[in-house]
Amino acid sequence: MFVLLPVSGRAASDIDAVTYRRHVMKTMGEQVAALGMVLQKNGPAENAALHARTIALTAQTALKAFEIKAAGGEAKEGIWRNWPDFAKRLKALADGANDLAVIGERDGLEAMQAKAMTVLTCKSCHDTYTLRQGR
Ligand code: HEC
């Protein structure tokens, strides 16, 4: 759902912070799914590097989105107790996705395919910091 409301001047609540970061993470899921289709040749190859760059931008966006300590959603408290580790993982994802885009532009889809699995590591952070295990 997409809603743009007039600026109300009130401070963002914890509920807003949770909703916001979940939108960002859903973007992440959609972009990875779209890239996966392209890498399996079920989507336009021209978009491969663009998806990788979008994933990098989304990881960067997520870093800011999680900065606000707001319990809720599927997030565990450990995120804010171990903030440097959590932040490092998102930065590694952003860097890896940017590298992936460069590889795609320079060496093509096959090279990207080979690299994608090692870069798009989602599960280990989810296992550590969320209630969504095994994904
Ligand atoms: C640094 C940790 C971290 C990494 C890396 C990470 N995630 Fe997440 N992800 C989270 C956290 C924390 C949540 C739970 C957020 C919440 O519920 O407030 C989440 C939630 C999600 C959700 C559920 C959103 C919703 O509310 O429905 C999706 C989809 C998702 N992540 C996709 C991905 C994908 C795909 C990747 C890998 C490219 C990834 N994530 C990498 C931490 C991470």
Is 100:119 a contact under the CB 8 Å cutoff? yes
Neighbours of 42 (CB within 10 A): 9
pLDDT band at 68; cut points 50, 70, 90: very high
The torsion angle over the Cα atoms of residues 26, 27, 28 and 29, rounded to 10 degrees, is: 50
| pLDDT given at position 23 | 98
20 C-alpha to center of ligand 1: Å?
12
What do you get for the CA distance between the two ends of the chain, in Å?
Answer: 23
Q: How far apart are CA 83 and CA 91, in angstroms?
A: 12
**55 Cα nearest atom in ligand 1:** 38
pLDDT tens for each residue of 90-131: 999 999 999 999 999 999 999 999 999 999 989 999 999 999
Is 97:53 a contact under the CB 8 Å cutoff? yes
Burial of 93 from C-beta contacts in 10 A (0-12 / 13-18 / 19+): buried
The rounded percent of the chain whose pLDDT value lies above 90 is 85
Q: What residues are in contact with ligand 1 under a 6 Å CB criterion?
A: 18, 21-22, 25-26, 28-29, 32, 73-75, 79, 86, 89-90, 93, 120, 122, 125-126, 129-130
pLDDT tens for each residue of 17-32: 999 999 999 999 999 9
